[in-house]
Structure 1
Amino acid sequence: MSEVLERIWQHQQISRVELVEHTGLTSGTITNLTHELIELKLIREFEAVSGNVGRRRVMLGFDPSLYRIIGLDIGRATLEIVVVDLNGKIIKTIERDMSDRKGPDDYFEVIDPLMNELKREIETAGHSILGLGAGVPGPMDYSAGSLLDPPNFPGWKGFPLQRTLEEKFGLVTLIEDDARTSAMAERWYGLGRSVQDLVFITMGIGIGGGVVHGGKIVRGTNGLCGQVGHMTILLDGKICDCGNRGCWETVGSIPGILSRWSGGNTMEQLKEAIRQGDAEALECMENTLGYLETALINVYNMYDPELVVLGGRLYPYLADYLLPVQNHLRSRLYAFAKDRLRIEPSTFGTSQSAVGAAALLFGFLLSEPVRLLALNDGA
C-alpha cells in the first residue's frame, strides 16, 4: 500500500496499468489495493482521459475531500498554523505576532484557543484530521519529544512539546526542528518531487538548515546535521548562544545584520537606506552577502546537494542579490560541479515551516498508511 501511495505521489496522477509497470505488482493486487485506498478516501479516480489509440484510461490521484492535516510553526517572533489537504494545498492560514511573548505558557495562551476553534471548524465541515505536525527552533531531544536549549529562544529548555500537544488536542502529533520541517515542505509538496538531495536554509531571527539525502531527512548522531547557522564564519567573532564563536548566525541573521548597522533597527529601514545610497548601509549589506557566499560554499562542499533552497523572513531582503551571489559561488566551486549549482527560493515563503510541519504527517501517511489510520481510529 505504501509503495502504491508513493508512486501516486511521484506522478500526481497515474493509471492502474502504469502502477503495475512501476511497482512490479500484479494487476489483481493493484486493483485490490487501489480499491481499498479509494474506500479509505485516500485516493480517488479522476476523469478518464484518452490514450494514444483512443482508449480511455482512469487516472488515480490523492483525494483532497476528506482528510486535513494541521501544521504548526512555533517561531521566535511569530506563530503560524496552516491546514492542508492531501495534495498540500493550503486551505487556511492563521498568523500571530509573538514578539512580546516569552516561553511556553505565553505561547499556549495563544495556541490553545486557535487550535480548539480550528479543530471544531474542520470537524463541523465534515473533514477528518490526520494529525498535527509542529516545527520549532532546535536542537531537540527526539526520543523525549522535547526541546533541548534552542539559541535565542528563552524558556523552552527541556519543554515536552510533543506530549503537551498530544494531550491538549488529542491528535497524532509529530515535531521537528523548523529548518527540517521547511525542508520537508520542499520534499513532499515543492521542489523535492524531482530532487533527491537538497539543503534548505532558513534565515530570520536565527539561521538553520535541513538536509535531505536520498529523499530522507538527515539528523546526524546528535541531531545536529544541518545546523548551518552555527558554522564558524569569523574566527575572532562574537560568542554565539550555542557556545561557538563567530557563527554565521551572529552576523548573518536579522539581529546579526542589524547589530552591524547604526542607522536603524529594522530590515525595512536598512533596505530604504541602501536604496538611498547610505554608505554604512551598503557596506553592511556587502558584508552580509560575503558571509552568505562563504556559508553557501561550505554547504556545497560539505553536503554536495542537487539543490539549495533559501527561505525565511530574511530572504526577501536578499532576493535581489541572488544572481551575483550565484555567479561568485560558481567561481569558488570545483570546476566540474559549477555548472550544476542550483539555488532557488522557497516554495511557500514565510509559511514554509508550517506547511512542512503538516508534511511530516504526509510523509508518515506514505510510509505507514495503515498505522497512521489506526492511530487516528484510536485517538
Structure 2
Amino acid sequence: MAKHLKGATAVETHSAILDLIRSSGVVSRIELADRSGLTGASISRIVKQLLTEGLIAEVGFGDRTGGKRRTLLQLNARSRHAVGVSLDFASITYLVTDLSGEVIARLDADGIGHEPPGEVITRIAAELAGLVESAGVDRSTLMGIGMAVAGRQDSAHHVLRSNPQADDWELFDIEETLSSATDLAVVVENDSTCAAIGEFWVGRIPASADFATVYMATGFGLGLVTNGDIYRGSSSNVGEIGHMVLDVHGPPCWCGSQGCLEMLAAPARIVERALEQPGLADELGLQGEPGTIRQDAERVARAAAADHEQALPVIEESAFYLSRALVSVTNLLDLDQIILAGPGFGAAGEIYLRRIWQDLERLSFVRAVHPTKVGLSKSSDISAALGAASLVLHSRLTPHQTSSRMALAAR
C-alpha cells in the first residue's frame, strides 16, 4: 500500500485509508500505519476525520500484547446506503445496501418488456421510493443509484446501445432521466462491470488483487478489476467475452460476426439444444419462446445439476465453450482469479466451475507458473444489482481508485 500512497493528494490518501479499512474488515491504527507506510500521526489524523464523518466506528479492543490494547476500527455500515438496480427484459431487481454492501431490502418486479422507456423510468422511481420507505432508510443517507444494464455502452452520452432485446432504449439517457425522477445521483454501467465491482467491494478484496468476473444472464460479459478499479477501456466496453469468436464458420451472431461464444453457449443456445432432445421440452415444461429463455434455461440447468441424462450434456456443452474462451482470456491477461457470477450460474454453476478449472489446469499457458483460481459468486442471482449498489459506494467513497464514470463523485 505504501507504494500506492506515495505522492498521493490528501483526498486520495483519505480515500485509500478508508478502502484499506473496508478490505481489512476490522483493523487497528497501528496496522493501518504498517500496511499503508504512513506515519502514526498521519493515520491518527485521517482516522479522526473518518470518525467525525461517521464513515467508520471504533468497535472494541484487540488482544493484549504487553502494552496498551489497540482500538479496533471498521466501517460504520449503517451510516450510508446505496441503491442498486438490475435492468432486464424479464425482470427488474432492486436492492438497498448499507456501506458494507449488506443487502437490507430487496424487490423483484416486472422487467422492461416492451414498455416505453419513459414509462419504465417512472415506474422504477415509484418502486424505488416504496422500497426505501419500507426499509426504514433515511433518504439523507442515500448516496445514489447504480443501474446495471446489458448491451454496449456509449460512455460519452451515458446511454444504452445495441441491446437486441431493448431497441427502444437506444440513445435513451437513463442517467439523466432517472436522476430527474428521483432527485438522486445515478450511474449506469454494464452488468458484468457491476458484478465485478460488487465482488471487489462486498467480498473485501484488497486493491492489490487483480481478478476477473464472468457474468452470465442472457449473454456473457467479463469485468476486470485491476489496482482496485474496473478497467473499462476507451468507451466502457471492455469484457465483451460473449462476442469472442470461437468458430469462424459458426452460426451468425447479431453483432455481425460468426461463431461467437454467445451463439454457442448462452441461455438461448442452451434452450435451442434442449428442444432438440426428444421429449425433454415436455418433461421440463420448456416453452421455447423469446420471452421465456431465461426460465427455460434455468429448468435445463436444474435438471443437469440433478444428472438428467439429456439435460446434462446440454449444459456441459455450454461449459465447454465458456471454458475454452476463458483459457484464451487467461492466456491473454495472465489472470490469477476468475469469479463466476450472474443468474446463469445459479443452478448449474458447479458444472461450469468443474469444467473451467479442469481446462485451466490442463491448458493454461501459465499453469506451470501459477494456478488460476476459479470460484462461484456467493450472490449470483443478485450480483448485478448488488454490484450496481457497490459501484455507488466505490465511486463516492474511494475516488482515488475510480478512473472514470465520475457523475456520482461530482454531485
State the TM-score, normalizing by the size of structure 2.
0.82
- 1:200/1:310 contact within 8 Å kept: yes
What is the Cα deviation at residue 339 of structure 1?
A: 5.0
Matches within 5 A, 1:104-119: 104-119=117-132
The AA in structure 2 aligned to 1:346 is S
What is the Cα deviation at residue 180 of structure 1?
A: 0.2
Unmatched 5+ stretches in structure 2: 1-13, 287-295, 401-406
Summarize the Cα distance change of 1:43–1:290 in structure 2 as closer, same or farther, 3 Å threshold.
Answer: same
The AA in structure 1 aligned to 2:343 is R
What is the Cα deviation at residue 100 of structure 1?
A: 4.4
Partner of 1:359: 390
Residue 345 (1) aligns with residue 376 (2): yes
Residue 328 (1) aligns with residue 341 (2): no
Partner of 2:326: 296
Partner of 1:135: 148
Summarize the Cα distance change of 1:149–1:103 in structure 2 as closer, same or farther, 3 Å threshold.
Answer: farther
- 1:171/1:376 contact within 8 Å kept: no
Matches within 5 A, 1:278-317: 278-279=309-310, 281-317=311-347
Partner of 2:201: 188
Aligned to 1:259, what secondary structure does the other structure show?
A: helix
**1:1-38 per-position Cα deviation (integer Å, ceiling 9, x unaligned):** 21221221232222223333333444443333322221
- 1:271/1:317 contact within 8 Å kept: yes
Partner of 2:271: 258
- 1:70/1:83 contact within 8 Å kept: yes
Summarize the Cα distance change of 1:256–1:328 in structure 2 as closer, same or farther, 3 Å threshold.
Answer: same
Summarize the Cα distance change of 1:335–1:182 in structure 2 as closer, same or farther, 3 Å threshold.
Answer: closer
The AA in structure 2 aligned to 1:345 is L
Aligned to 1:159, what secondary structure does the other structure show?
A: coil
Moved more, 17-26 or 45-54: 17-26
- 2:62/2:71 contact within 8 Å kept: yes
Aligned to 1:211, what secondary structure does the other structure show?
A: strand
Match of 1:220 among 219, 233, 237: 233
Aligned residues: 374
Deviating above 6 A after TM superposition, structure 1's stretches of 4 or more consecutive aligned residues are 375-379
The AA in structure 2 aligned to 1:165 is L
Partner of 2:93: 80
Residue 151 (1) aligns with residue 182 (2): no
Distance of 1:333 and 1:143 partners within structure 2: 37
What is the Cα deviation at residue 282 of structure 1?
A: 4.5
- 2:76/2:99 contact within 8 Å kept: yes
Distance of 1:25 and 1:335 partners within structure 2: 36
Summarize the Cα distance change of 1:6–1:191 in structure 2 as closer, same or farther, 3 Å threshold.
Answer: closer
Distance of 2:88 and 2:129 partners within structure 1: 20
Moved more, 53-62 or 80-89: 53-62
- 2:23/2:204 contact within 8 Å kept: no
Summarize the Cα distance change of 1:7–1:329 in structure 2 as closer, same or farther, 3 Å threshold.
Answer: closer
The AA in structure 2 aligned to 1:315 is F
Moved more, 324-333 or 70-79: 324-333
- 2:395/2:408 contact within 8 Å kept: no
State the TM-score, normalizing by the size of structure 1.
0.89
Cα RMSD for the two superposed structures: 2.8
Match of 2:80 among 58, 63, 67: 67
Summarize the Cα distance change of 1:152–1:299 in structure 2 as closer, same or farther, 3 Å threshold.
Answer: farther
Distance of 2:350 and 2:410 partners within structure 1: 50
- 2:245/2:260 contact within 8 Å kept: yes
Moved more, 335-344 or 301-310: 335-344
**1:210-263 per-position Cα deviation (integer Å, ceiling 9, x unaligned):** 111222211123433210011012222222222221111112111121112223
**1:326-373 per-position Cα deviation (integer Å, ceiling 9, x unaligned):** 22332112264475121100132211111111111221233349xxxx
Moved more, 32-41 or 98-107: 98-107
**1:52-87 per-position Cα deviation (integer Å, ceiling 9, x unaligned):** 115222111111232111111112322111111111
Summarize the Cα distance change of 1:202–1:160 in structure 2 as closer, same or farther, 3 Å threshold.
Answer: same
Moved more, 284-293 or 344-353: 284-293
Partner of 1:372: none
- 2:95/2:104 contact within 8 Å kept: yes
Unmatched 5+ stretches in structure 1: 370-374
The AA in structure 2 aligned to 1:82 is L
Aligned to 1:356, what secondary structure does the other structure show?
A: helix
What is the Cα deviation at residue 204 of structure 1?
A: 2.0
- 1:102/1:154 contact within 8 Å kept: no
Partner of 2:6: none
- 1:83/1:91 contact within 8 Å kept: yes
**1:254-273 per-position Cα deviation (integer Å, ceiling 9, x unaligned):** 11211122232313543576
The AA in structure 2 aligned to 1:94 is L
